[in-house]
Amino acid sequence: MFTDELLSTEDIITELFVRVDAKMQAVEKDPRCKLWPGEIVTIGLLFSIKGVGCRAFDRWLRRDWLKLFPHLPERTRLFRLLTAHQRWTDYFLADPSFFGVIDGFGIELIHPCREGRSPQQIGKKGLSNHRWIVGGKLGVVLNGQGLVIAWDAATANVYDGKAFRHLIERFDGQSIVLGDNGFHNSPEKGGDPPNLKICKRKTWSERIVVETMLSMLTTVCHFKKVSHRIWQSFVARLGYTMAAFNVLVQLNGLNIGDDGNYHPSIANFSL
């Protein structure tokens, strides 16, 4: 537990690698690859925590921490590796609990005034927090401890209840998932999953855990806006960010406040 400690960047990288390597022991190393699976995932977590673009992250990693990753490949190959092995982040998803919480979160890829300028644009225009963005959307399900148990990505123009319905149905019989009106479907469109509980405004304060999680990612990982131009790379960024959140929250330990409630935090691990 590191609640009251100020860790150096090297300590944070070391702790991340230890946790990641313990989870990745069953994954065999490709003999053609110079990096071990634990190194690849650790670099992916660092990229999501650092919260900068690919080039800036690569410069930071090579300039300051090449001694920890001496076999680091060339930048474009490194990020192709991260994208190709994004599924390894599933090792770090938590188990469901009796109650879960689902929410959607818009992530801006380009400024709305630049919409349509490039034929390679991957984001779509949609509303997020009552303002227009052009980008993607994260759908995330947390358990009772505020840990990520499932997630998916969609473009910003889609309806949460349609795009992320499968995340709720996945836990039918295991967990009651609390959601807002954005996840409601009318009977004509299939109705709501049986394990979805639609919460009206100012009810079920337990849902605040997902707002806390997204706020921490915005502050620490600069998660509200990213600069990816390939959809697979964007999805990989989300996967590594969800894994990083789970690892960091558990590194910080069970933080119980004076009010007796659990208060997760990742602020100590900002890079």
Looking at the domain assignment, is residue 126 inside a domain? yes
At 207 the pLDDT is 86
Is pLDDT above 70 for 198? Answer: yes
At 94 the pLDDT is 95
Is pLDDT above 70 for 261? Answer: no
> What average pLDDT does this structure show over 37-57?
96
Looking at the domain assignment, is residue 200 inside a domain? yes
Confidence of residue 175 (pLDDT cuts 50, 70, 90): very high
- Alpha carbon distance 183, 104 (integer Å): 9
Write the pLDDT tens digit of every residue in 53-65: 999 999 999 999 9
Is pLDDT above 90 for 86? Answer: yes
Q: What DSSP state is assigned to residue 260?
A: S
* CATH code (residue 207): 3.30.420
At 262 the pLDDT is 66
> What average pLDDT does this structure show over 222-251?
95
At 258 the pLDDT is 63
Confidence of residue 2 (pLDDT cuts 50, 70, 90): low
Looking at the domain assignment, is residue 214 inside a domain? yes
Per-position DSSP letters for 76-122, written without gaps between them? HHHHHHHHHTGGGGGGGPPPP-SEEEEEEEEEEEE-GGGTTS-TT--
Q: 182 with 188: CB under 8 angstroms?
A: no
Tell me the whole-structure pTM to 2 decimals.
0.93
- Alpha carbon distance 203, 195 (integer Å): 18
Q: Which domain does 195 fall in, by range?
A: 99-226
- CA 144 to chain centroid, in Å, comes to 17
At 257 the pLDDT is 61
At 7 the pLDDT is 82
| Lowest-confidence region among 50-54, 97-101, 125-129, 166-170 | 125-129
At 6 the pLDDT is 73
Q: 45 with 38: CB under 8 angstroms?
A: no
Closest by Cα among 138, 96, 164 to 224 = 138
At 206 the pLDDT is 78
Confidence of residue 116 (pLDDT cuts 50, 70, 90): confident
Number of folded domains that form the chain: 1
Q: 257 with 141: CB under 8 angstroms?
A: no
Greatest mean pLDDT among 59-68, 108-117, 205-214 lies in 59-68
Residue 92: exposed, middle, or buried by beta-carbon count in 10 A (0-12, 13-18, 19+)? buried
Give the count of alpha carbons within 13 A of 47, CB side only: 31
Looking at the domain assignment, is residue 143 inside a domain? yes
Is pLDDT above 90 for 120? Answer: no
Q: 122 with 144: CB under 8 angstroms?
A: no
> Which token pair is 55?
């080039």
Looking at the domain assignment, is residue 66 inside a domain? no
Looking at the domain assignment, is residue 176 inside a domain? yes
User: Under 8 Å CB-to-CB from 137, ≥6 apart: which residues?
Assistant: 104, 105, 106, 107, 126, 128, 153, 154, 155, 156, 158, 160, 163
Looking at the domain assignment, is residue 255 inside a domain? no
Looking at the domain assignment, is residue 94 inside a domain? no
